[in-house]
Amino acid sequence: MFTRKRQEEPPRTIALLTDFGLADPYVGQMKGVLAKKAPACPVVDISHDVAPFNVVQAGFFWRRHMSIFHGTPFFLPLWTRAWEPAGKSSACKSGNGCS
**How many domains, in total, are found in the chain?**
1
Considering the domain boundaries, does residue 7 fall inside one? no
Considering the domain boundaries, does residue 28 fall inside one? yes
Considering the domain boundaries, does residue 31 fall inside one? yes
For 69-91, the pLDDT digits (tens) are 766 777 777 766 543 455 444 45
Considering the domain boundaries, does residue 51 fall inside one? yes
Output the domain CATH number for residue 33.
3.40.50.10790
The residues near 3 (Cβ < 8 Å, ≥ 6 apart) are none
pTM above 0.85, yes or no: no
How many helical (H) and strand (E) elements, i.e. helices and strands, does the chain have?
Answer: 2, 4
Q: How far is CA 52 from the centre of its chain?
A: 17
Q: What is the mean pLDDT of residues 60-75?
A: 79
| Residue 87 falls in which region: left (phi positive, over 0), alpha (psi -120 to 50) or beta | left
Q: Residue 78 is part of which domain span?
A: 14-91
Considering the domain boundaries, does residue 1 fall inside one? no
What is the DSSP track for 5-28?
Answer: PPPPPPPPPEEEEES--SSSSHHH
